[in-house]
């Protein structure tokens, strides 16, 4: 029996994973709390831990897991910036879910964009109060507009296909340009020409705060910024200043660089202590969703299936295709 400590567990994840376990090979114990230096003792006696985007597997946690005899960190997400890979190298194996449903994230990005530029969220609130005025609800067409996509992996390519269906001009930037049927260019050119800018790249040392005050100054006035990737790709205070200065016409965010303190939890009865997030939420041209772009039934099933397969493959002593490179 392989014992798995499942951290930061939500009900919708539990259902997806429990439906994938049909035999007696795996035993999952679900913890509501996130993995971190203070909670890592909960992993004692387990063979593996399963973690999500806001869990922390830094050097302290990795060393503790190693002492406890934990052999595997199974990420149930694509990103792995929350894991200290240098500390893990040679001590504990780290696997991930590189692709679960790129269309889920891409479609959510387009949903945010349409909601923003066509003022659907404002219209919804108005009509709930029986206010059917159209004043202030004028948007703009996507047809003929230029969208700049940073990161042309599976999600970026899926988003490009959606944009192509709207008749948009597509520019792209990727560290390794591919044959994706789009025009690749430099970041500076992409900033200069894009009416809409969408982020679909991983968070690395190179991409941390890639959207900062300097890059915002290079963008078109009124640019619409989308981020369904990782919050720290954007310097939040620079974004706020860009909005206040009318340089950024709208921001649609499914992620936020300090989201681990708030996202996935209900703080409706509390005072928001993050002043930057509170100010962003107060802006009429900002839409924030709480890291839900992945949240479809198809994606949840795919995440559970790949994660369970990763775990079973590893403990069978076989090579795991989804092991993360430690270099």
Residues with active-site annotation: 230, 259, 291
> 315's torsion region: left (phi>0), alpha (psi -120 to 50) or beta?
alpha
Q: CA–CA separation, 111 vs 316, rounded Å?
A: 41
Residue pair 17/305 in contact by the 8 Å Cβ criterion:
no
CA atoms within 13 Å, Cβ hemisphere of 38 = 2
Task: Tell me the CA distances in angstroms from 13 to 9, 16, 142, one per residue in order.
Answer: 7, 5, 35
Strand partners, 37: none
Q: What angle do CA 309, 43, 49 make, to 5 degrees?
A: 20
Of 21, 62, 25, residue with least CA distance to 43 = 62
CA distance linking residue 298 with residue 12, whole number of Å = 12
Distance CA 136, CA 120 (A): 11
Instruction: Name the one residue in this structure whose structure tokens are 């005050």.
Output: 213
128: which 2 tokens?
Answer: 């709930």
Rounded distance, CA 297 to CA 291, Å?
15
- Categorise residue 98: left if φ over 0, alpha if ψ from -120 to 50, beta otherwise: alpha
CA 99, CA 118: separation in Å to the nearest integer?
Answer: 30
- Count of H-run helices and E-run strands, the chain: 11, 12
d(CA 209, CA 231): 9
């Amino acid at each position: 029996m392989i014992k798995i400590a499942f951290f930061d567990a939500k009900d919708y994840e539990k259902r997806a994973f429990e439906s994938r376990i049909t035999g007696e090979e795996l035993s999952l114990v679900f913890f509501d709390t996130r993995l971190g230096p203070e909670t890592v003792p909960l992993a004692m006696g387990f063979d593996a831990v399963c973690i999500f985007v806001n869990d922390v597997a830094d050097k302290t946690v990795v060393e503790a897991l190693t002492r406890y005899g934990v052999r595997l960190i199974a990420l149930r997400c694509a990103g792995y910036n929350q894991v200290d890979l240098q500390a893990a190298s040679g001590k504990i194996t780290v696997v991930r879910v590189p692709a679960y449903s790129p269309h889920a994230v891409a479609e959510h990005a387009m949903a945010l964009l349409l909601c923003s530029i066509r003022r659907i969220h404002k219209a919804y609130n108005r009509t709930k109060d029986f206010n059917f005025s159209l004043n202030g609800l004028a948007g703009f067409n996507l047809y003929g507009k230029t969208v700049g996509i940073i990161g042309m992996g599976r999600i970026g390519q899926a988003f490009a296909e959606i944009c192509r269906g709207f008749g948009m001009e597509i520019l792209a930037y990727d560290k390794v340009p591919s044959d994706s049927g789009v025009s690749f260019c430099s970041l500076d050119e992409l900033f200069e020409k894009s009416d809409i800018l969408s982020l679909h790249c991983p968070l690395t040392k190179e991409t941390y705060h890639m959207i900062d005050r300097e890059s915002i100054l290079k963008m078109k006035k009124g640019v619409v910024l989308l981020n369904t990737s990782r919050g720290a790709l954007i310097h939040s205070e620079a974004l706020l200043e860009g909005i206040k200065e009318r340089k950024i016409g709208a921001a649609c965010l499914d992620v936020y660089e300090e989201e681990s303190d708030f996202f996935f939890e209900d703080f409706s009865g509390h005072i928001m202590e993050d002043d930057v997030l509170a100010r962003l939420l107060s802006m009429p041209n900002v839409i924030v969703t709480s890291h839900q772009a992945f949240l479809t039934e198809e994606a949840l099933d795919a995440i559970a299936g790949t994660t369970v397969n990763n775990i079973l493959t590893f403990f069978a002593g076989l090579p795991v295709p989804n092991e993360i490179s430690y270099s």
